[in-house]
Chains A and B, each alone.
Chain A
């Protein structure tokens, strides 16, 4: 069976839903392929507040944010295939998926939007030292088990890493009666949002030790504790200062990996910094007609930004499918001097304003962010503070762009 759609969206989380709505509203016949039993993605397990302040102008939970978008999708003539696992993205944009209801499905897409989100780094991914007893979970896994399945994964908890999901889970487990004994962060600063440090740790008196890491996991068959130590400037643990803390669960909140496995072998230009595709301002990858948005493109800290980015991709995908998407001479956008990455990585020369998103590589106070084109400054702004945990954005006018752009910090 070969189906035909103008726009096929892989993934029905916040990015996929917003992209689908935008594509549909631009006149495209649109299909969402989602592997879970419902739309919403990871938002379905985010029962905490803090979503939607920028997009909807009100604060809501992740589940409510998902529901708003789900309703918008269902109001429209957008086809949704649930429990559909996409197996491959082939030549000429043929998407192959497996669905329990419809079997093996092949879909010919005018344009494809990648919206698969990301997965968590695991104990293996960070080469966690020690044995592998039961009781070690990624923070998101513990969150799913708690909030969706109703299981508490431990009573005495240690959390490694201070990513937002880990901080949220520190509060969540405490609310459910567990004792969160310690949060360890390898870096001298948190990778999570400040308000999560205050409202998830400080509110409950949960200690966080910066520049500390786990040196050993012990216990068999279940985890009984961990050894931890401060790290030196080289980020290696100082073993002479090793200490022990008992626990029956260890949560890992040590970073996210965009889930780009489908792109293997397609020769799509990837960024080694974001682990996502390199895109232009329409969020089109180097593979014509294939767009990328949300956490599969780069990890966001606010879902509101995911929705906005996905709308760009969805609209552009619809234009591409109709043959209306303008292409032109492009320039590169590079990051330097304290800026870890800038996105989009390519811009088409022309008119209009365009937003460039960026992350810095450390905590900078009173730093000036500049964008230069052929050595000429086209944007400058002083920021009171820039931190790796918070994505920033600048707006530049394309009219002044006639060569490659460098985004960097000026000290």
Chain B
């Protein structure tokens, strides 16, 4: 797998491979690149940020409380899309999202200007 390290502006091009029992990172110029490369290779995760509908027709912004597996980001977005939350949500409120075989909570991060 090839990617670019995002730990600093250097942006080292990383090549990550499984060699026997070991995961080998090449192209990095420091230890942080190796750690990043291994994480991206074994279990890449992302925090999902998107909008969620409110019962009055407006939208609030939200994020997954924890990073979710990268390949499930689209499923989580779809799950959030099915929700309609009360219009009086506040920043920091937490809700459950129904996503197959994943336990995902979202936190409200922003509310409409009128709130």
Residues of A within 8 A of B (CB): 36-38, 44, 47-49, 59-61, 63-64, 66-67, 146-148, 150, 175-176, 193-195, 197-199, 202-203, 365, 384-387, 389-390
Cβ contact of B6, chosen from A148, A198, A385, A386, cutoff 8 A: A198
Cβ contact of B49, chosen from A36, A47, A202, A385, cutoff 8 A: A47
Are A203's CB and B51's CB within 8 A? no
Q: Which residues on the B side are within 8 Å of A64 (C-beta)? A: 91, 109-110
Q: How far is the CB of B94 from chain A (nearest CB, A)?
A: 13
Residues of B within 8 A of A (CB): 3-4, 6, 8-11, 29, 46-47, 49-51, 58-59, 61-63, 70, 77, 91, 109-110, 112-114
| Sample (21) of A-B pairs whose CB atoms are under 8 Å apart | A36-B113, A37-B113, A38-B113, A47-B63, A60-B109, A61-B63, A63-B110, A67-B91, A67-B110, A147-B59, A150-B51, A150-B58, A194-B4, A197-B4, A202-B3, A202-B4, A203-B46, A203-B70, A384-B29, A385-B9, A385-B10
Are B9's CB and A194's CB within 8 A? yes
Are B110's CB and A61's CB within 8 A? yes
Q: How far is the CA of A202 from the CA of B1 in the complex (A)?
A: 13
Which one of A37, A38, A386 has the highest number of Cβ atoms from chain B below 10 Å of its Cβ?
Answer: A38
Which one of A38, A44, A61, A150 has the highest number of Cβ atoms from chain B below 10 Å of its Cβ?
Answer: A61
Cβ contact of A150, chosen from B59, B63, B70, B113, cutoff 8 A: B59
Are B3's CB and A198's CB within 8 A? yes
Instruction: Name which residue of chain A comes closest to B30, CB basis.
Output: A384
Are A175's CB and B46's CB within 8 A? no
Are A385's CB and B8's CB within 8 A? yes
Q: How far is the CB of A83 from chain B (nearest CB, A)?
A: 11
Q: How far is the CA of A202 from the CA of B49 in the complex (A)?
A: 17
Instruction: Name which residue of chain B comes closest to A384, CB basis.
Output: B10
Are B9's CB and A386's CB within 8 A? yes
Q: How far is the CB of A39 from chain B (nearest CB, A)?
A: 10
Q: Which residues on the A side are within 8 Å of B6 (C-beta)? A: 194-195, 198-199
Instruction: Name which residue of chain A comes closest to B2, CB basis.
Output: A202
Q: How far is the CB of A382 from chain B (nearest CB, A)?
A: 13
Q: Which residues on the A side are within 8 Å of B11 (C-beta)? A: 194, 385
Q: How far is the CB of B112 from chain A (nearest CB, A)?
A: 8
Q: How far is the CA of A90 from the CA of B8 in the complex (A)?
A: 44
Q: Which residues on the B side are within 8 Å of A198 (C-beta)? A: 3-4, 6
Cβ contact of A148, chosen from B4, B8, B109, B113, cutoff 8 A: B113
Q: How far is the CB of B1 from chain A (nearest CB, A)?
A: 11
Q: Which residues on the B side are within 8 Å of A199 (C-beta)? A: 6, 46
Instruction: Name which residue of chain B comes closest to A71, CB basis.
Output: B91
Q: Which residues on the B side are within 8 Å of A37 (C-beta)? A: 113-114
Q: Which residues on the B side are within 8 Å of A47 (C-beta)? A: 49-51, 61-63, 109-110
Instruction: Name which residue of chain B comes closest to A59, CB basis.
Output: B47
Q: How far is the CB of A324 from chain B (nearest CB, A)?
A: 37
Q: Which residues on the A side are within 8 Å of B51 (C-beta)? A: 47, 146-147, 150
Q: How far is the CB of B66 from chain A (nearest CB, A)?
A: 12
Instruction: Name which residue of chain A comes closest to B74, CB basis.
Output: A175
Are B109's CB and A61's CB within 8 A? yes
Q: How far is the CA of A387 from the CA of B8 in the complex (A)?
A: 11
Q: How far is the CA of A202 from the CA of B13 in the complex (A)?
A: 13
Q: How far is the CA of A44 from the CA of B113 in the complex (A)?
A: 9
Are B49's CB and A48's CB within 8 A? yes
Q: How far is the CB of A66 from chain B (nearest CB, A)?
A: 8
Q: Which residues on the A side are within 8 Å of B113 (C-beta)? A: 36-38, 44, 148
Q: How far is the CB of B9 from chain A (nearest CB, A)?
A: 5
Q: How far is the CA of A386 from the CA of B47 in the complex (A)?
A: 28
Q: How far is the CA of A198 from the CA of B112 in the complex (A)?
A: 30
Are A175's CB and B77's CB within 8 A? yes
Q: How far is the CA of A38 from the CA of B91 in the complex (A)?
A: 15
Instruction: Name which residue of chain A comes closest to B44, CB basis.
Output: A203
Instruction: Name which residue of chain A comes closest to B63, CB basis.
Output: A61
Q: How far is the CA of A116 from the CA of B24 in the complex (A)?
A: 49
Cβ contact of A49, chosen from B4, B47, B77, B114, cutoff 8 A: B47
Q: How far is the CA of A49 from the CA of B61 in the complex (A)?
A: 11
Q: Which residues on the B side are within 8 Å of A385 (C-beta)? A: 8-11
Q: How far is the CA of A395 from the CA of B112 in the complex (A)?
A: 41
